[in-house]
Structure 1
């Protein structure tokens, strides 16, 4: 879940969030071996704490334990990407409909504000300014999360966030930006939210996610 580390977080929690972020944003590459001594120096925590954190990340499916050999960042595959995309659509599509039904003026404000930031970043990307792709994807997450934030189920939101992060890792690994067509889809989703047009929003969301999967696979960057 793409959240800011709270200022009172423990050293272990800060290390966990940093490692997790580095995996999601591709700074720790798929299949990379995770050596405890190197991680200890990089993240400033003890080997024993690192073992606990890596086991925690293993339970989330972001890394894999290799028996006595240690840990590695989970590899990527076309099959896994398709599975994550299908699960994202299942969760986000349901949450979208619930949110459109229940959303109030405060929800509308969150959606509009989140889209404004994302649209500004997409304009920069379209002008060939790709210097801050992480911020772009954070704004992308904030917009999609805002759309479903009035769904009324924290369990649904948390489960969606976990799947979204794994899906996002593929976008960062493959350096995915579909350009104006994706930005236009975001604009349509905003319009649908303000009109409470959940049927069209569901259709656009499906196109949005599936086109990203197709684009990723067409680029052939998953090894």
Structure 2
């Protein structure tokens, strides 16, 4: 059965689609921090029913992108300097540990995956460095894939999932604060890749700390984040 020339989506696929659209719009700042999410408006904007939207919003509550308020519905989770500091510290804690495990167990296939992920990321950062911001969503995805590739040999699904969740929350701050630093992050990412190929855990940990802390400092210096939640 088709609708408007397209194959109609199954209910479970529609629910996943709405969840992903809401999640991306929150991460990209289309839905602003603290914004109330009224079902009537969401039904219109996302062409979905109330039950589908509630299910998607409940998933986003579990991921801390949305807050559920008793008797008042939902709102987008706020952001703040202190929130970014907390998330950056948690990301560093998880990623640094996972890097060490991954470097110890990485295979030739793992090296190839790291190189491929870096190649894609570097191409997107090259465009950003030249002032082309049309591919921000693709850059966001490639940045996530590269950092996931670095830790993908850690042999821990819990670590991988925890890192993915924290990384997305960290990226949300970057997207909203407009804290892009491709001229600096390109050599940092290359240094991380090269450290991975050498299995140099100390160098990778040092660069990762610098990479995250420099991004944190720039996001705060731009002044786009409220001081308190």
Do both share a fold (TM > 0.5)?
yes
SS in 1 for 2:71: helix
Aligned partner of 1:124 in structure 2 is 127
SS in 2 for 1:26: coil
SS in 1 for 2:180: coil
Counterpart mapping for 1:1-223 below 5 A:
10-223=13-226
Which stretch shifts more, 186-195 or 42-51? 42-51
Where structure 2 has 5 or more consecutive residues not aligned to the other structure, the ranges are 1-8
Conservation of the 8 A alpha-carbon contact between 2:115 and 2:193: yes
Take 2:159 and 2:208, find their aligned partners in 1: how far apart are those partners?
A: 17
Instruction: Give the superposition deviation at 1:48.
Output: 2.1
Number of aligned residue pairs: give it: 217
Instruction: Give the superposition deviation at 1:188.
Output: 0.3
Take 2:160 and 2:182, find their aligned partners in 1: how far apart are those partners?
A: 27
Conservation of the 8 A alpha-carbon contact between 2:100 and 2:201: yes
Conservation of the 8 A alpha-carbon contact between 2:102 and 2:151: yes
1:123-143, Cα deviation, whole Å (9 max, x unpaired): 111111111111111111111
Take 1:125 and 1:221, find their aligned partners in 2: how far apart are those partners?
A: 20
1:140-190, Cα deviation, whole Å (9 max, x unpaired): 111111000110001110011001110010000011111321111001001
Which of structure 1's runs of 4+ aligned residues deviate more than 6 A?
none
Take 2:48 and 2:132, find their aligned partners in 1: how far apart are those partners?
A: 36
Instruction: Give the superposition deviation at 1:26.
Output: 1.7
Instruction: Give the superposition deviation at 1:52.
Output: 2.5
Q: Decide which structure has the larger Cα Rg and report it.
A: 2
Instruction: Give the superposition deviation at 1:42.
Output: 2.2
Instruction: Give the superposition deviation at 1:16.
Output: 1.1
Take 1:119 and 1:52, find their aligned partners in 2: how far apart are those partners?
A: 37
